[in-house]
Amino acid sequence: MRTRYQRGYLRLGHRKTRPACWEFLWWDNVPEGRRVRRKAIIGTVLQYPNVEDAWQASNGLRVSINEARNRQPEQLITVADLVDHYTETELAFDLGSEGKSHATKVVYKEFLGRWVTPTWGRQNIRAVRTTAVEYWPSSTDVHRRPPDGSANESKDTQPDERALQSRHPL
């Protein structure tokens, strides 16, 4: 069965004592194989006085519904698999002038090898969430030291003598 994306349906639901509210409706497939109609309250007509405002408010819900549909848990693809594929195709040194510069390739490979693969490599790509990746650099010490502690502190803290001499000749 192919994946169907939801545009959904927006209607104005009337209440007995409270103000009318905007309802977002969509169809969902349950594990038993049948379809079930789902409903979520977007807000009241006081919050969203016209249908355009209510549609804008429902965008986040629609995205999350379609994101869950697009993920197929039976297909296992890890982040390490994607890193390997990216390294072989986009960071290959034999692409010539069509690919990225040599310096970019070196930096990308180093970053992927030191940070992304050790942290996210075993994760199923379908389990990775955007918010987790956005939060990740601020939650770790990415800019200073790799997770395995392999940074050479003496190299980082001791300036190279040749570099000093070339800048300040005696």
pLDDT in tens, 135-147: 887 776 655 555 5
Q: Which one has a higher pLDDT value, 9 or 139?
A: 9
Residue ranges of domains in the chain: 9-70, 79-150
Single-letter amino acid code for the residue at 78: T
Of 138, 139, 146, 91, the closest CA to residue 117 belongs to 146
Torsion, CA 82, CA 91, CA 111, CA 167, rounded to 10: 180
The string of DSSP letters for 118-145 reads HHHTTSBGGG--HHHHHHHHHHTTTTT-
Determine which of 26-30, 71-75, 108-112, 130-134 has the lowest per-residue pLDDT on average.
71-75
- Please check the confidence at residue 103 and state whether its pLDDT lies above 80: yes
Say which residue the tokens 């194989």 belong to: 33
**What is the per-residue pLDDT for 134?**
85
C-alpha to C-alpha distance for 6 and 67, rounded to whole angstroms: 10
Instruction: Looking at mean pLDDT, say which of 2-11, 109-118, 141-150 comes out highest.
Output: 109-118
- Coil, strand, or helix at residue 91? coil
Distance CA 60, CA 53 (A): 13
| 6-36: burial string, b at 16+ Cβ within 10 Å, e else | bebebeeeeeeeeeebbbbebeeeeeeeeee
pLDDT: which is higher, 37 or 162: 37
Query: What residues are paired with 13 via a beta bridge?
Result: 21
Q: Is the pLDDT of residue 21 over 90?
A: yes
- Number of helices (H) and strands (E) in the chain: give both, helices first: 7, 3
Chain segment 52-70, per-residue pLDDT in tens: 888 888 888 887 777 766 5
> How is the beta sheet containing 35-44 ordered, strand by strand?
9-13, 21-29, 35-44
Q: What is the reported pTM? A: 0.42
Distance set, CA 90 to CA 59, 111, 120 (Å): 34, 15, 20
Q: In the beta sheet, which residues pair with residue 11?
A: 23
